[in-house]
């Protein structure tokens, strides 16, 4: 018996269709349709829409620029070498089972990247080494290069990432060279290089919606497994860590789950980045089995996020869902608001009490952030233009020359992604980072109008997830744990690959 033959499924389908007809015929439904036309007309006639829709002069000049050609030549050295070796020894290459096998692996770099992401998500913290991230990204990158060896048309698509990617890469490299301690910054440069390789392979290797879906499924499976383990931790209980919660304001709150990650905030940020992608996959699923599995994963991820007691991530996911619905179908926004209100009576008391502490300046974490921001302001007055150099290790050494916090300790980072980027790479490094991120978000929004229904959901999910994690970055340094940094750029790669697919002409109708 299939799901469609189920009496319950047929009843739910009939109920849904009835509710849709009722909404379409209602006065409120008509009012929302009229407001939609008015809002759309106002938006399309606004100056902000004109800025968002046009292609900037910087982007227009990028394709033929020397900088693009130089960066592409530099980053494509392995691809160029592989193609040259293939031309020189084509007979040997084609006749070797090993070479053909390696080439086949390289052609599936999109799947290897997805599997690598899956491993990052399920590797226990005590068994994870951040060097694995660099080695894994470099291995996938080199395999991709070997996969291009016998395909003339295949290359590393650096140009698709735009000029801000080049500027960001340049200022990250300058922050290493000009660091107050190059030896301390080298490790962090490898982290950034890992992220660059993830993005390059992601946008270059994905050539079809099927491949993009497989890349996303790997991330969704990893997030679901981590979420299930987080729910298990919540069931059996974890130790209460005094440094992670104010024991006075949060009396009676259980320990915060962290799954395979070192810290509950790290785990929560991962869920904010990947839950919208799981939602898109669920909505795009063809059969009931895929939809049910996706729905189960979503329940586990939302439950695990609640058990992290991470207030900034709760707000980040809420914002991501609002953006997703606004981009996909804004008529569901009132449904989301109503569902949120209806859920309040069913929230555990510990979660509700935690929500009530949002914005409470008596909370120790809020007071600690303010003290850190004050110290960061002193550091930026001295190093705001040039930066201290890559990495929190260099910054921690610089903080030793300033007054301690009220508890006698020194900050270990700025508790804010943008202040951290500014302090490490200088003002122009921050500008390059913001230009890259905002440019990618702009391209994602522009691509929505060109995408089909399934790809539109993917774009809405990836853009909303980026908005959610970027909002969290206002009060957290989300890259302090490098795995979170790698996963942010995995999300960036998914967005860039979706934009690339949306730019392609639709196949002719049969």
Predicted confidence (pLDDT) per residue in 313-332, tens digit: 999 999 999 999 888 877 77
The answer as to whether 326 is a domain residue is yes
The answer to whether residue 24 is domain-embedded is no
| Domain annotation covers residue 58 | no
Min mean pLDDT across 255-264, 295-304, 328-337, 389-398 is at 328-337
- 428 falls in which pLDDT band (50, 70, 90)? very high
Residue 455: pLDDT band by 50, 70, 90 thresholds?
A: very high
Residue at 438 is within a domain? yes
Quote the pTM value: 0.88
318: in domain: yes
* 407 within domain boundaries: no
Q: Copy the structure tokens of residue 275.
A: 């839950």
Q: Is the predicted pLDDT of residue 35 greater than 70, yes or no?
A: no
For residue range 211-256, what is the model confidence (pLDDT) as tens digits?
999 999 999 999 999 999 999 999 998 887 766 666 566 666 788 8
pLDDT, tens digit, for every residue of 48-103?
Answer: 555 665 666 777 777 778 888 888 888 888 888 888 888 888 878 777 788 888 88
Q: Is 40 contained in some domain?
A: no
Which long-range contacts does 251-257 make (Cβ < 8 Å, 24+ apart)?
252/349, 252/350, 252/353, 253/309, 253/350, 253/353, 253/354, 254/350, 256/307, 256/308, 256/309, 256/310, 257/230, 257/231, 257/233, 257/304, 257/307, 257/308
Alpha helix segments (H runs only) across 238-363: 264-284, 288-308, 311-328, 333-343, 349-356
451, 459 contact by CB (below 8 A): yes
Question: Between 432 and 10, whose confidence is greater?
Answer: 432
pLDDT of residue 38: 63
Note the pLDDT of residue 23.
63
Predicted confidence band of residue 355 (pLDDT cuts 50, 70, 90)? low
Domain-located, residue 290: yes
Q: Tell me how many domains the chain contains.
A: 1
Report the pLDDT value the prediction gives residue 125, as an integer from 0 to 100.
Answer: 92
> Domain containing 190: what range?
65-361+415-501
DSSP code at position 158: G
What's the pLDDT tens digit per position in 142-175?
999 988 888 777 788 888 888 999 999 999 999 9
């Amino acid at each position: 018996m299939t799901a469609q033959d189920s009496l319950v499924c047929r009843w739910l389908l009939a109920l849904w269709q009835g509710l849709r007809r009722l909404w379409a015929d209602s006065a409120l439904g008509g009012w929302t349709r009229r407001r939609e036309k008015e809002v759309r007309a106002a938006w399309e006639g606004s100056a902000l829409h004109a800025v968002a829709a046009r292609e900037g002069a910087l982007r227009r000049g990028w394709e033929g620029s020397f900088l693009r050609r130089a960066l592409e030549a530099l980053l494509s050295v392995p691809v160029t070498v592989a193609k040259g070796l293939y031309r020189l020894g084509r007979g040997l290459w084609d006749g070797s089972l090993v070479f053909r096998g390696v080439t086949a692996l390289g052609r599936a770099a999109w799947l290897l990247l997805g599997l690598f992401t899956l491993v990052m998500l399920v590797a226990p913290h005590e068994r994870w080494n951040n060097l694995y991230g660099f080695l894994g990204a470099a291995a996938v990158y080199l395999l991709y290069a070997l996969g291009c060896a016998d395909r003339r048309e295949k290359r590393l698509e650096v140009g698709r990432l735009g000029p801000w990617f080049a500027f960001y890469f340049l200022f990250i490299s300058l922050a290493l060279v000009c660091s107050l301690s190059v030896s301390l910054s080298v490790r962090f440069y490898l982290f950034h290089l890992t992220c660059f390789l993830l993005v390059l392979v992601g946008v270059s290797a994905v050539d079809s919606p099927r491949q993009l879906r497989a890349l996303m499924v790997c991330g969704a499976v990893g997030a679901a497994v981590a979420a299930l383990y987080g729910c298990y931790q919540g069931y059996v209980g974890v130790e209460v860590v005094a440094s992670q919660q104010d024991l006075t304001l949060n009396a009676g709150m259980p320990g915060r789950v962290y799954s395979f990650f070192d810290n509950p905030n790290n785990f929560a940020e991962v869920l904010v980045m990947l839950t919208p992608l799981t939602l898109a996959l669920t909505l795009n699923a063809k059969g009931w089995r895929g939809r049910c599995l996706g729905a189960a994963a979503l329940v586990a991820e939302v439950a695990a996020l609640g058990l992290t007691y991470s207030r900034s991530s709760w707000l980040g996911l809420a914002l991501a869902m609002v953006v997703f619905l606004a981009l996909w179908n804004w008529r569901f926004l009132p449904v989301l608001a109503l569902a949120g209100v209806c859920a309040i009576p069913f929230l555990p008391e510990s979660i509700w009490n935690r929500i009530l502490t949002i914005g409470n300046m008596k909370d120790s974490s809020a007071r600690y952030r303010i003290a850190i921001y004050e110290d960061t302001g002193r550091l930026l007055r001295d190093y705001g233009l040039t930066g201290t150099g890559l990495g929190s290790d260099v910054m921690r050494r610089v903080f030793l020359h300033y007054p301690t916090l009220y508890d006698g300790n020194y900050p270990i980072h700025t508790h804010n992604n943008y202040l951290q980027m500014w302090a490490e790479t200088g003002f122009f490094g921050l500008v390059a980072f913001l230009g890259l991120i905002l440019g990618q978000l702009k391209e994602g929004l522009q691509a929505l109008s060109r995408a089909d229904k399934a790809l539109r959901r993917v774009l809405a999910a990836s853009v909303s997830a980026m908005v959610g994690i970027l909002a969290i970055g206002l009060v957290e340094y989300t890259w302090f744990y490098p795995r979170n940094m790698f996963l942010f750029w995995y999300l960036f790669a998914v967005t860039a690959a979706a934009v690339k697919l949306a730019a392609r002409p639709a196949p002719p109708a049969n």
